Amino acid sequence: MDIAVPANPEVSIIVPARNEEVCLRDCLRSLAAQTGVAFEIIVVDDGSTDRTRAIAESVRGVRVVSPGPLPAGWSGKNNAVVAGAKEARGNWLLFTDADTVHLPGSLARALTEAKENQAELLSYSPEQIAVTFAEKVVMPVIFAELAAQYPPEKVRDQSSGVVAANGQYILVRRDAYESAGGHAAVADKILEDVTLARAFRAAGYKVYFRYSADAVRTRMYRNWNELREGWTKNLALLFPHPVRLAMGLFAWWLTLPSLITAAVLYLRVRRANFGSGTTLIATAFGPPVVGYLLLRSVRTHGRGEVSWKGRVYSEPGSAMAVSRPSGTRIDPALESRH
């Protein structure tokens, strides 16, 4: 589907993409089909070695840009979205991932929702699609724990100390984004979405967050290797006490033969908004697997060996990230400067 690009778009949609040939076409088709608001689509091809760029260029009206070399200390995604924001012409910016699919009319509804709630940052937690057994085991448990750590109703309460966003869908008012420093202000952060939300809250801007099966869905990972690498990158940063959480999950699982424990755990996992069958699978098998992933994430971050899409990052003590090609080692002198 082709799109007619307006001279003055209200929303600029920015899609960072690095080797996303499997899912990018569906994403762009769903975005190109949006109605009810003037928009443009910018795909930032972040050094892809597959057909990502060709797919993006095949959709007429989509602008494809390159972010240029990755600056020292920046994550690849932050570098990509900043490059996209520089090209954007809209008063609102939607940052969304290449593995998302957007329901018809969702962009216009999201913009209206942001304005009605006087939110400078609106973020949706997409419906998560789980297909393989590994996805069904892991995803509900993690998203149930995320719901407990970052309850949407508390995030929406600007007086609470809880703030979060999901990088798969972040709609921001451009002037507020620039005032808060944008992604450049969190350039070194692997967990850029939550950190960006904190920057907005600290600057006095309203953050609005909710689960959004009515707007967007995503399949984050398609096999065990992708899932393990992705959650290893994020889990130690998402939870304040990851080791304690891992031990708690192991303890929950060991007491599963108790019907009361099984029922309580099922209800806890059910908060992740998966179907009953997937929730049962996750309840039965998920806690020890997620516990393992939590401990793996802690260990990997501690070693400064977090890898994602061919790059390795180090964010020791939430300090400056060091990025380098996968398979290389950090120079201790460089690491000490970050």
pLDDT one-digit tens code per residue, 66-125:
998 999 889 999 999 999 999 999 999 999 999 999 999 999 999 999 999 999 999 999
* Phi, psi (rounded to 5 degrees) for 69: -60, 145
pLDDT in the model for residue 338: 27
* pLDDT tens-digit readout, 238-287: 999 999 999 999 999 999 888 898 999 999 999 999 999 999 999 999 99
- Cα distance between residue 228 and residue 251, in whole Å: 22
Answer for the pair 293, 138: CB distance below 8 angstroms, yes or no.
yes
- Cα distance between residue 1 and residue 31, in whole Å: 10
- Cα distance between residue 222 and residue 211, in whole Å: 22
Residue the block writes with tokens 């060709």: 54
Residue the block writes with tokens 């008063």: 91
Provide the percentage of residues in the chain whose pLDDT is more than 70.
91
pLDDT in the model for residue 6: 77
- Cα distance between residue 254 and residue 231, in whole Å: 23
- Cα distance between residue 303 and residue 297, in whole Å: 10
Answer for the pair 182, 188: CB distance below 8 angstroms, yes or no.
no
4 falls in which pLDDT band (50, 70, 90)? low
Provide the percentage of residues in the chain whose pLDDT is more than 90.
84
* pLDDT tens-digit readout, 138-185: 999 999 999 999 999 999 999 999 999 999 999 999 999 999 999 999
CA atoms within 13 A on the CB side of 286: 25
Residue the block writes with tokens 């954007």: 88
Closest CA to 155 of 194, 116, 186: 194
The mean pLDDT of the chain is: 91
* Spatial strand order in the sheet of 311-314: 306-308, 311-314, 322-325
Answer for the pair 93, 83: CB distance below 8 angstroms, yes or no.
no
pTM to 2 decimal places: 0.90
pLDDT in the model for residue 132: 97
Torsion sign over Cα 223, 224, 230, 235:
positive
**CA diameter of the chain:** 63
- Cα distance between residue 256 and residue 283, in whole Å: 9
- Cα distance between residue 316 and residue 21, in whole Å: 32
Which of 1-10, 169-178, 256-265, 302-311 shows the lowest mean pLDDT across its residues? 1-10
pLDDT in the model for residue 305: 84
Question: Domain spans of the chain?
Answer: 11-126+166-218, 224-337
Q: What is the dihedral of CA 193, 199, 204, 209, to 10 degrees?
A: 10
Which CATH number does 11-126+166-218 carry? 3.90.550.10
